[in-house]
């Protein structure tokens, strides 16, 4: 009988702690604003800090509470600001017509140091050590975190050619292609 008591005490204590944690989770539950999660889903979630907040979750919370403007996310541009304003049922305001931008590396100035590649939160910069780096335009949000790190000032921001109407990339349709 003396050896069974410690064996039964461990599961009993575990069960008691489980019930107490379950009760605490229900009693201390904090209701979340569903608008914050919806705004977070729209943001690029790269934690670039351009909006003045440490992360996109904090920025989304401030936007939902009205403490930050809907156009606080610089990488998102005017299109994202308009979507956030619609989501939060805010009156349409003039958020500007800024176009989304992407980083561009000047081939002559890049020495392949790799500082920009390490800083990019979106993994949009590719390249090997001491080789010229490149930007994946589909992944770049234009947060400009890489620009200040480049010792040779080889990186600049330009309007995204995929999203700029006047400079749209030509589309190739395989069905219309003819092989000679």
**pLDDT tens digits along 54-63:** 889 999 999 9
pLDDT at 117 over 80: yes
Per the listing, tokens 């608008």 go with 35
In this structure, what are the phi and psi dihedrals at residue 170, rounded to the nearest 5 degrees? -70, 145
Which domains, from first to last, does the chain contain? Answer: 34-87 (1.10.15.40), 100-162 (3.30.70.20)
**Residue range 127-140: average pLDDT?**
85
Q: pTM score, two decimals? A: 0.56
CA angle 11, 13, 17 (to 5 degrees): 115
pLDDT band at 48 (very low <50, low <70, confident <90, very high): confident
DSSP structure class, residue 149: T
Report how far residue 99's alpha carbon sits from residue 82's, in angstroms, rounded to the nearest whole number: 12
Do the Cβ atoms of 85 and 92 come closer than 8 Å? yes
């Amino acid at each position: 009988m003396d050896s069974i008591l410690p064996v039964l005490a461990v599961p009993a204590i575990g069960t008691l702690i489980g019930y107490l944690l379950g009760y605490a989770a229900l009693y201390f539950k904090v209701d979340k604003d569903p608008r914050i999660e919806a705004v977070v889903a729209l943001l690029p979630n790269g934690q670039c800090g351009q909006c003045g907040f440490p992360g996109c979750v904090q920025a989304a919370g401030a936007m939902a509470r009205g403490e930050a403007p809907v156009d606080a996310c610089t990488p998102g541009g005017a299109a994202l600001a308009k979507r956030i304003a619609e989501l939060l049922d805010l009156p349409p305001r003039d958020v500007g017509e800024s176009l989304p931008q992407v980083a561009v590396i000047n081939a002559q100035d890049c020495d392949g140091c790799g500082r920009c590649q390490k800083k990019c939160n979106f993994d949009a910069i590719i390249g090997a050590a001491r080789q010229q780096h490149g930007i994946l335009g589909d992944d770049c949000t234009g947060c400009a975190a890489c620009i200040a790190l480049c010792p040779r000032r080889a990186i600049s921001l330009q309007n995204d050619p995929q999203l700029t109407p006047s400079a749209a990339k030509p589309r190739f349709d395989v069905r219309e292609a003819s092989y000679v």
